[in-house]
Amino acid sequence: MVERATKELFNEIKHASEADQFMTNMATSFIRTNPAEYLAELIQIKHVTKSQVIRRANLTPSIGYQYFDGKRRPNRARIIALGFGFQLTLTELNTMLKRTGYAVLYAKDEWDALVIFALSQRFDLNRTDELLYQYGLGTITDEDSRSCQHPH
């Protein structure tokens, strides 16, 4: 099946008279949000090992493998950390966020803006965490600082 443009889908939703009408017609167009499946795709595309990604994402092996095996669902910050683990570009990371059901990085959010900057500068996760910390915004990897992040 050919992928339909977002604009086309948006128009179909706006002009539908009943939810059943567009839900049935669009069922194959919705993004499925199984992070483990997307992580498996990225392993193949990026030619990296799970252990390399987990290490670069600053995750403990037990938690990292649970994400890859689908036993745990990573939150948005952990998806971003995994994006750094895969050494994704900004565009690739935003695709990963969308495909796993999370909001893309938003330039008007100060935490997100610094992550966007770090990605554009090709910072690794440690350097990105240092930048976020420098501005009093917590970090991507520190559990205790997640409350500093804006919910998305």
Q: Quick: pLDDT tens for 122-134.
A: 999 999 999 999 9
> Cβ(76)–Cβ(152) under 8 Å?
yes
> Cβ(124)–Cβ(88) under 8 Å?
no
pLDDT tens track for 4-49? 677 887 888 888 888 887 777 776 666 666 899 999 999 999 999 9
| pLDDT of res. 3 | 57
- Rounded to whole angstroms, the Cα distance separating 4 from 82 reads 28
| pLDDT of res. 1 | 42
Which of 150, 80, 152 is CA-nearest to residue 119?
80
Is residue 145 predicted with pLDDT exceeding 50? no
- The larger pLDDT score, comparing residue 28 to residue 98, is at 98
Which element (helix H / strand E) includes 90?
helix 90-99
Helix 61-69, helix 35-46: angle, nearest 10: 100
- Rounded to whole angstroms, the Cα distance separating 105 from 115 reads 8
| pLDDT of res. 29 | 65
Average pLDDT of span 88-105: 93
